[in-house]
Every structure is written in C-alpha cells, then in structure tokens.
Amino acid sequence: MTSATIDDAITQRIRKDIAANDVVLFMKGTPVFPQCGFSATVVQVLSHLGVKFKGVDVLQDPGLRQGIKDFSSWPTVPQLYVKGEFIGGCDIVREMFQSGELQQVLDEKGVASEVQA
C-alpha cells in the first residue's frame, strides 16, 4: 500500500466517525481514562452538559494521531466535532462553555444536553 492510500483510509475513517455520531471527541485516552489534561477538560465539559459523545483515542493509532491534525489543519488533540463540524480544541471549548456559547451551538444543531447537578 502506498502512503496515499493509507492517508485516504484514515480520512475516510474520520469522515465516517463524524458522520455517524452527533458529537465526536478525538482525544488522548478514553473518556473514562483521559491520558492528557486537555482531553480531560473537554470530557469534563461534555459530561457536565450531559452530552452523549463518542471518544476516539488517537493514541491507539499513530496514523490517526497525525491524520486528524491534517484533516482539520489543527495541530493539537483534543478536537471536538459536532454534527460533522469542527468546533475547536480545549481552549475554544472551555471559552465557549464559559460564555454559554457551546450550549447554544448544541441547541442550534439539535444535540440534546442537560446540565448535570
């Protein structure tokens, strides 16, 4: 296999993941055991908002770890996608959560959320 076909396979996998799930978080580690503080922060925000999401652990696949950065022209992980759209990394998600903008985006896109006590 040439490297181009491997890249295509990864891009296809990313497209499939963000098409099949309303909310996808590409992260280091899993939602239960995040391996990085930035990933943990985004998991915390989503959990607080009661948003169901799919976590994809990029540490399981070096190709994906690089591929997701190329896909979004974004140099870091975590990366949050809602309804197929790239929302941002940890800083943006935190800022949007604090300003209430994140809840607004979720509402607008028809993603159910309910703040957990």
Partner 1 sequence: MPMSPAEIESLIKEALPDATVKIEDLRGDGDHYAAYVVSKGFQGKTRVQQHQMVYQALQGRMGNELHALALQTAAPASE
Give 80's strand partners: 25, 88
Q: Which stretch binds partner 1 (CB under 8 A): 12-20, 48-56, 88-96, 109-117?
A: 88-96
Nearer to partner 1, 46 or 87 (CB): 87
Nearer to partner 1, 60 or 66 (CB): 66
Site string for partner 1, 13-32 (x = CB under 8 A): --------------------
Q: Residues 68, 15: contact at Cβ < 8 Å?
A: no
Helix, strand counts (H, E) of the chain: 5, 4
Instruction: Name residue, tokens 């985004």.
Output: 42
Residue 70 as a binder of partner 1 (CB under 8 A): the answer is no
